[in-house]
């Protein structure tokens, strides 16, 4: 099967392209390289351009009329930047996605897998969120994701379009062959900071927020290996029609996580175990907007997609550390 992957030069998109190839499919990439590096699309069918460029999207389908499904991942993704630049986020993530979706309907290419985010959820008691849990996106970024979920629900009700919306929890790790991974120069997410500290690129690791109502006071997340996340997309495209038949509607929302919550302290312990060395850890108050977090109820992913995570937290940490050693060679910076 051929699959169009928008944002396929990005972190998750490049690993998903690899997982598609691994399963015998052919990814076709559309990416503007706004943030994704060119090194991640080498050796793949690649179109450099914008998702809202209808002529380009038409050309891709003229060149590849046998593309059966579009995985729409292209987006701006940096939460604090979305607070400073809401216009750019609503324009790129909402308006441009609408142009892409409408063009796909015009081209009679109705199957869409959409990258949404667990950040749409409201805080949930017990921290376990299933797909029916209340939503309350806390940032412009997360609001763009929820808006697109709502738009897809309306578009699929009114047109031939069909959508599987994947709400990702917290992807970590890299391509198992170390061909791609986290490419931002100074990652701000918690594992990225641990990796930087372990490599002596920052003095230590700071736990921000130790008074949350979790088992040890630190924030809780559901860290899913990016390869498992990529495989969830393969399951979604392979079982697309079957999955929607099963739910009995033209669109559906599916959590993608491991089903296990890991606190920041637990992550640090697992990290030290993989590293074989203790980390220098300091504690600080929470940063403004820090959320206590959640983990996924993954029953629906298993029932509808036949997918579940296979890797554990230590596999994902080891993968992140190995990628950090390889980044220089692939990207030209450490």
Ligand X SMILES: NC(=O)c1ccc[n+]([C@@H]2O[C@H](COP(=O)([O-])OP(=O)(O)OC[C@H]3O[C@@H](n4cnc5c(N)ncnc54)[C@H](O)[C@@H]3O)[C@@H](O)[C@H]2O)c1
Contacting positions for ligand X (CB under 6 A):
6-7, 9-13, 31-36, 50-51, 73-77, 92, 96, 115, 117, 168, 171
Backbone angles phi, psi at 320, to 5 degrees: -65, -40
- Describe the crossing of helices 313-331 and 190-198 by its angle, rounded to 10 degrees: 70
How big is the CA angle at 154 (ends 158 and 243), to the nearest 5 degrees? 85
CB of 56 to ligand X, least distance (A): 10
Closest to ligand X by CB, 92 or 131 = 92
| Residue burial 286-307, b: 16+ Cβ < 10 Å; e: rest | beeeebbbbbbbbebbeebbeb
Say how far apart CA 38 and CA 40 lie, in whole Å: 5
Beta-strand (E) ranges in the chain? 2-6, 26-31, 45-48, 67-72, 111-117, 128-129, 162-168, 170-172, 205-208, 220-221, 223-225, 251-256, 262-263, 281-284, 295-296
> Least CB distance from residue 119 to ligand X, whole Å?
7
Residue nearest to ligand X (CB): 10
Sheet holding 162-168, edge to edge: 45-48, 26-31, 2-6, 67-72, 111-117, 162-168, 251-256
Closest CB 312 distance from ligand X, rounded Å: 18
Annotated active-site residue in 11, 89, 90, 141:
141
Kindly tell me the burial class for residue 316, based on how many C-beta atoms sit within 10 Å of its own C-beta (0-12, 13-18, 19 or more). Answer: buried
Q: Please, which residue, 222 or 266, has the CB nearer to ligand X?
A: 222
**Which CB sits closer to ligand X, 172 or 280?**
172
| Smaller CB separation from ligand X, 209 or 257 | 257
Considering beta carbons, is residue 85 or 246 the nearer one to ligand X? 85
Pairing verdict, β 2-6 and 170-172:
unpaired
Calpha distance 147→166 (Å, rounded): 14
141 in active site: yes
Least Cα distance to 246 among 169, 164, 131 occurs for: 164
32 or 258: CB nearest ligand X: 32
- What backbone phi and psi angles, to 5 degrees, belong to 293? 105, -175
Active site residues: 141
């Amino acid at each position: 099967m051929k699959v169009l992957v928008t944002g396929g030069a990005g972190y998750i998109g490049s690993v998903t392209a690899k997982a598609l190839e691994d399963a015998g499919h052919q990814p076709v990439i559309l990416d503007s390289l706004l943030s994704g590096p060119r090194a991640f699309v080498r050796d793949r069918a690649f179109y450099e351009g914008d998702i809202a460029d209808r002529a380009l999207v038409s050309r891709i389908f003229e060149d590849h009329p046998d593309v059966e499904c579009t995985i729409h991942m292209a987006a701006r993704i940096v939460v604090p930047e979305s607070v400073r630049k809401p216009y750019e986020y609503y324009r790129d993530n909402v308006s441009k996605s609408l142009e892409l979706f409408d063009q796909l309907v015009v081209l009679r290419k109705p199957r869409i897998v959409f990258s949404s985010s667990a950040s749409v959820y409201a805080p949930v008691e017990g921290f376990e969120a299933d797909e029916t849990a209340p939503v309350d996106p806390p940032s412009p970024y997360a609001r763009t994701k929820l808006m697109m979920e709502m738009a897809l629900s309306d578009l699929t009700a009114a047109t031939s379009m069909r959508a599987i919306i994947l709400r990702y929890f917290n992807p970590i790790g890299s391509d198992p062959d170390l061909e791609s991974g986290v490419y931002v120069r100074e990652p701000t997410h918690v594992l990225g900071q641990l990796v930087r500290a372990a490599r002596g690129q920052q003095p230590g690791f700071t736990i921000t927020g130790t008074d949350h109502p979790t088992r040890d006071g630190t924030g809780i997340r559901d860290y899913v290996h990016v390869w498992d996340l990529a495989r969830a997309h393969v399951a979604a495209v392979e079982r697309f029609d079957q999955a929607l038949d099963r739910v009995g509607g033209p669109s559906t929302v599916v959590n993608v996580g491991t089903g296990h919550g890991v606190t920041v302290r637990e992550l640090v312990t697992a990290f030290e175990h993989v590293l074989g060395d203790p980390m220098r850890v300091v504690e600080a108050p929470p940063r403004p907007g820090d959320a206590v977090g959640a983990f996924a109820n993954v029953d629906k992913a298993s029932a509808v997609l036949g997918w579940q995570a296979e890797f554990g937290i230590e596999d994902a940490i080891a993968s992140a550390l190995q990628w950090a050693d390889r980044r220089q060679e692939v990207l030209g910076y450490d």
